[in-house]
Structure 1
C-alpha cells in the first residue's frame, strides 16, 4: 500500500515538474533564437524577487490568482469548464465596490456586506451559464465566453458618470467612488516591503475549505461522482442537473472573491485600471496545480513570480513579454506532460498487476509442489 502511495505521489508531482522544465527549455530556445542570453532573464527575475517589495507584490498577486484558480478548479472537478471567471470576478468587484461606497457600517459588517455582494454577483453571473446548460443544453464554454463579453460591456456602461460611475476631478479615469475606511480589510505591514493584503490570507485559507468540502463531505462526493460520470451519478440517486447548477453557482461565488484582496486591501474602489485577464490566468494555474489546493498554491506563486519579477526586464534589454511566452509554454507543456505521465502511470500499473499475478502463480505452484 505504501508503495502505491509513493508511486501516486511521484506521478502527481512529475506532471507539473516536467511541464515547468519543458517550458524553461523552450523559453531558452526562443531567447537564443532572438539573439539573447538563454538564462539571463531567469537570473534577473530571481534577483528581483530578492527585494522585499517585489516579494510582497508576488504574495498579494498570488492570493488573487489563487482564488481565480480555485473557482476554475471547482468547475474542473465537476467536468465543467468555467471560462467565465474573468467576467464574474470583474463584475462582482464592481458591484461590490458600488455597494461598499454607498453605505457606511461598523467595520466587520461593512466588510462582510461587500464580500457577500461580491459572492452573490459572481454566483448570479455564473448561474446564468448553469441554467442555460441544465435547461437548454448550452455548452458552458460558449455561454461563459459570451457572458465575459457581456460583462465587459455592462461594466463599461455602468461605470459611466451618468450611471454609477464617478470621474475624479482632473482625471480621465472612471471609478465607483471610494469605500469608507470601515470597509477596508486590515493587512500585515512588512515595513519597507509594503503591506500584504489581509484578504490574501483568507484566500489561502479557502484552499483548506475547498479540500475539506471536496474530500470530506457528501456534497464533495456528489460533485466528484457527477464529474466522473453523470449517468452513473444519476443511477446512484444524485440529481446531476442540480449538481451542475450548484457547481456553477459555487464556482462563480469563489470567482467573485478574486477581486477582494485588491479592492479591500489596496484600491478601495473599482476603476477602469482594475486588473483584467485574472480569470484566464486562473485556468493555467488550476491546470498546472492539477486542481489540488496545494498544487494550485505553488502554481499561483510561480505565475505571480513570473509576472511581478519580470517587470524590469526591459531595462536590461529583454522584453517583458518573455514571462507571457513562458506562461503560454507552460500551458502547452502541461497538456503534453500530463498525457505522458498518464501513459506512464498506466504502463506502471499494468506492470505491477503482472508482477502480482506472477508472484501469485509462483506461490500457488510452490504450494502444489509441496
Structure 2
C-alpha cells in the first residue's frame, strides 16, 4: 500500500539529475588534483618531499587549533566570495571589492572608536556603517555605468587606487589617527569601544569567531534572494540577457545600480570579522587583497553559496597550513603556486566538464530520438 507522500518523493528524486551533480563536483575536484600534481612536481624538482609537505599541512589543518584557524579565515573569505559572486550573477564584474572593504573598514573603525553605546546598538551600528560605505563606493561605479556607459571593470579598478589615496590622506596623525602632545600612537585609528567586541566561541583549539553565524546568514539570504524572490529572478534574467530582460519589463539600469550597491554592501562586511574580533583598530597592518581573493573563491565556487563555502574552506586551509611549511624547511611560496594553479585549472576543468556534459546531452537526445523513430517504425509494421 502506497502513501500519499510517495509520489511526491518519487517526483522529487526524479528532478535530481545525478549526472549533473557529479559533473558539477568533477570540475573543482579535478582542478585541485591537477594543482596538487603540479605542486608535487615543483617540490620534487626543488629537492623536497611533496608527501611530507602535504602531510605537514594536513597535520596542522586537522588539529583542533588548525581547524579554528581555518574556520576563522574561511569566514572572511566566504564574505569576500559572496560579495563578488552577487555581482557576477548579474554579469557585473565588481573588481573593486578590495577598495570597498578597506574604506568601509576604516569608516567602521572610526565610528566604533568615536561612540560608546551598548553592544546591541554599537555592533549593528558599526555593521550598518560598513555596509553603507561599501554600497556608496560601489554605487559610484554603478552610476558611471548606467549614466555614461563606463565599464565597471575599469571604474572599480580606478576606485581601488582612489581608495588607497583616500586612506593615505585620512589615516594620518591628527585626522583619524590619534595624536597627543606631539606623540603619535601609530598610523592607525583609535581602539574601538569594548562594546563593539563581537562574541567568540571558546573551543579546544582556541577562540572561534562568532561572526561565522553572520556569514551563514549572508549565504542563506543570498540563496533565498536569488531563488525565491522576484528581484533574484530579474537579477539572473538581466545577467543572462539585458535585452530580453528589458523586453519583459525589467528596468535594467536600476537593476545594475541596485546590484552594484548590494555587492558593495556585502563587500563592506569583509573586514568586519578581523575588526570586531581581533584587531579593533584600522591601520597599516590590515590585510589587503581580500577582494581579489574573493574573485578566485567565487570563480571556484561557481557563484553559488554552497560552492563558495567549499572554496573558502579550501583557500583558508591552504593559507592557514601554509605557514607551517617554512618551519619544516619547505618554501612558503608553494601555497601561492597551489592557489594560482587551482584558479587556472578550475577554468580549464569547468570548460572540459561543460563540453563533456554537452556531449552527453546530445547523446541522450540522439538516443531518445532514435528510440522514438524505432517505435514509430514498429507501429507502422504492425499496422
> Do the two structures share a fold, i.e. TM-score over 0.5?
yes
What pairs up with 1:245-256 in 2 under 5 angstroms?
A: 245-256=257-268
1: CA distance, partners of 2:67 / 2:126 = 28
1: CA distance, partners of 2:165 / 2:64 = 38
Q: 1:167 touches 1:175 (CA, 8 Å); kept in 2?
A: no
What pairs up with 1:1-370 in 2 under 5 angstroms?
A: 2=14, 5-166=17-178, 173-191=186-204, 193-370=205-382
> How far is the alpha carbon of 1:3 from its aligned partner?
7.9
Residues 171/310 of structure 1: CA separation in 2 closer, same or farther (3 Å cut): farther
> How far is the alpha carbon of 1:71 from its aligned partner?
0.5
Question: Greater Rg, structure 1 or structure 2?
Answer: 2
2: CA distance, partners of 1:363 / 1:237 = 44
Residues 327/173 of structure 1: CA separation in 2 closer, same or farther (3 Å cut): farther
Q: Bigger CA drift: 217-226 or 157-166?
A: 157-166
> How far is the alpha carbon of 1:165 from its aligned partner?
1.3
- Unaligned 5+ runs, structure 1: none
Q: 1:63 touches 1:201 (CA, 8 Å); kept in 2?
A: no
> How far is the alpha carbon of 1:366 from its aligned partner?
1.8
2: CA distance, partners of 1:184 / 1:11 = 43
Q: 2:178 touches 2:185 (CA, 8 Å); kept in 1?
A: no
2: CA distance, partners of 1:134 / 1:166 = 40
1: CA distance, partners of 2:158 / 2:252 = 24
> How far is the alpha carbon of 1:125 from its aligned partner?
0.8
1: CA distance, partners of 2:217 / 2:237 = 25
2: CA distance, partners of 1:170 / 1:327 = 42
> How far is the alpha carbon of 1:246 from its aligned partner?
0.8
| TM-score after normalising by structure 2 | 0.93
2: CA distance, partners of 1:323 / 1:34 = 15
Residues 167/290 of structure 1: CA separation in 2 closer, same or farther (3 Å cut): farther
Q: What's the secondary structure of 1:39's corresponding residue?
A: helix
Number of residue-to-residue matches in the alignment: 369
> How far is the alpha carbon of 1:74 from its aligned partner?
0.4
1: CA distance, partners of 2:69 / 2:303 = 24
Q: 2:99 touches 2:159 (CA, 8 Å); kept in 1?
A: yes
Q: Bigger CA drift: 64-73 or 33-42?
A: 33-42
Q: 2:315 touches 2:339 (CA, 8 Å); kept in 1?
A: yes
Q: 1:197 touches 1:262 (CA, 8 Å); kept in 2?
A: no
Q: 2:177 touches 2:186 (CA, 8 Å); kept in 1?
A: no
1: CA distance, partners of 2:241 / 2:221 = 24
- Unaligned 5+ runs, structure 2: 1-12
Deviation string 1:233-258 (CA, Å, 9 cap, x unpaired) is: 00111111111111110000000011
